[in-house]
Every structure is written in C-alpha cells, then in structure tokens.
C-alpha cells in the first residue's frame, strides 16, 4: 500500500518521502520542512497514536491519520491528540488527495477559515491582538506561542467579539468536522486559556456559555497582578 501511494502521489506531482517506523518519521520531520504528514497507525516500533503525540511535540505540520480502526471514540481521541483529518482503510488515492488539498488549504496553504481581518490586518479585543495574515497573536504586547489549531480557534472567535459561537459552528468552521465530541473543543480551550493566563473558573477573555457555546470579549476591570509582582510586594 505504501509503495502504491508513493507512486501515485509522485505521479500527481507531489514530492514524497517515506519511512517505515515512527522514530524515522520523527527524525525526518525534525530535519525536513514538510507540507503534510500521512501517518499510518500500524507502525512496527510505536503505536501510531503515541507517534502522533510525539509529532505534535515538535511540529504543527498537518497530519492525516490512515487507520483501519473505525471506532468513533478512537477517531475522536486521535483528532483531540492533534490529527487534522483521518481516513479509514481501504481508501482510494483520489480520496486521499482530496483530503490532502482540504487539510493544506485549512492550514493556510490555500486559504484560511479564520474570517476576514480588520483593515489594519489585526483583530483587536482588549489587550489581545490577532493577525490572521501573519498568523501572529499577542497579549499585552507579548507574543503568544500557539499551535496552529489554537491560533485558528482564537482567530475565529476574535473575528466575532462578544458573540456566543455555538460549539457545532466551531467544529464545522475551525475543525472542518460535521460531528464530534465537545471534548475536542474543551481541550483546546483549556490550552488556550492557559496561554492567555486565565482559567475556566476565572475567565478574562474566553467565556463559556453553558449549553450554548463560547465567546471572546475584552476583560472587565484591571489585568491580574503577575505572581512575581506579588512576591516582590510580599
């Protein structure tokens, strides 16, 4: 199957590099700039789901998982762990190339799903600035280190300040999925809150409206005092 994919993707004008183990894949991804990774879960040295987590630790490159597992809970777990899409075997090369084009388009290589930027190029909500064109997010002048999915989620919400965005809409527009588990959104919101210096219990920018969705709005009141400042005062 791998040989057939290599041949047909090469014939379709893609430059393809192929390896047979997870460790080789990690080494290749760390050394070479790829546009996309197709990850088979049936690897000889590591479980593919574990390899996916390790990939996400070193790169935000789009990943399509090829799997023989069609269990919904397993697929949701893979998407939550960082997969951008999945295909259940057997599948045709035409199906794969269509998914590849869609994933790369969503990744910014052929369009974006983050909405229209303001004339200045940046979306501003309080002390938060999100520039979809440069894919740059800053909080009070400090650049945020966001994964690609975290940035897409933040940018989508920043383009609709104060609007409660339903979870179904987030799944459709940010994840490009017609269905899924709310846990996928909750996990990314948790990571995003951590980087914005807030929690679900004490939100500043990201507010969950129970049973409805999520909204991004400027914080009310002064920003929190940094922990180091409290230590100096003490």
Q: Convert the pLDDT of each residue in 194-224 to its tens digit.
A: 999 999 999 999 999 888 899 999 887 555 4
Intra-chain end-to-end CA distance of the chain, in Å:
65
Averaged pLDDT for residues 9-25: 85
Q: Which pLDDT belongs to residue 121?
A: 59
Is domain 123-216 in CATH 3.40.50.300, yes or no?
no
At the topology level of CATH, where does 2-109 sit? Rossmann fold (3.40.50)
Averaged pLDDT for residues 69-77: 82
Omega before residue 90 within 30° of 0, cis: yes
Domain ranges for the chain, please list them. 2-109, 123-216
For residue 33, give the nearest of 6, 74, 11, 62 by alpha carbon: 62
Q: Convert the pLDDT of each residue in 88-141 to its tens digit.
A: 888 888 888 888 888 887 776 543 333 434 444 578 898 999 988 778 899 998
Determine the angle formed by the axes of helices 2-11 and 93-104, rounding to 10 degrees.
Answer: 60
Residue with tokens 């969950």: 208
Whether 63 contacts 52, CB under 8 Å: yes
């Amino acid at each position: 199957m791998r040989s057939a994919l290599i041949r047909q993707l090469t014939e379709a004008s893609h430059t393809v590099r192929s390896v047979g183990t997870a460790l080789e894949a990690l080494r290749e991804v760390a050394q070479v700039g790829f546009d996309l990774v197709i990850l088979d879960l049936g690897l000889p040295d590591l479980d593919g789901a574990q390899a996916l987590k390790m990939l996400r630790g070193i790169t935000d490159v789009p990943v399509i998982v090829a799997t023989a597992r069609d269990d919904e809970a397993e697929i949701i777990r893979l998407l939550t762990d960082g997969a951008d899409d999945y295909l259940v075997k057997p599948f045709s090369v035409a199906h794969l190339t269509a998914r590849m084009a869609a994933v790369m388009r969503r990744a910014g290589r052929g369009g974006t799903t983050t909405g229209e930027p303001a004339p200045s190029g940046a979306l501003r909500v309080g002390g938060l600035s999100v520039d979809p064109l440069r894919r740059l997010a800053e909080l009070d002048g400090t650049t945020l280190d966001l994964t690609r999915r975290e940035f897409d989620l933040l940018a989508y919400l920043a383009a609709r300040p104060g609007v409660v965005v339903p979870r179904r809409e987030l799944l459709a527009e940010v994840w490009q999925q017609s269905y899924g588990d709310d846990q996928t959104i909750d996990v990314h919101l948790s990571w995003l809150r951590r980087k914005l210096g807030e929690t679900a219990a004490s939100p500043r920018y990201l507010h969950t409206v129970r049973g409805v969705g999520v909204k991004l709005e400027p914080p009310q009141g002064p920003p929190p005092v940094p922990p180091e400042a409290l230590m100096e005062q003490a």
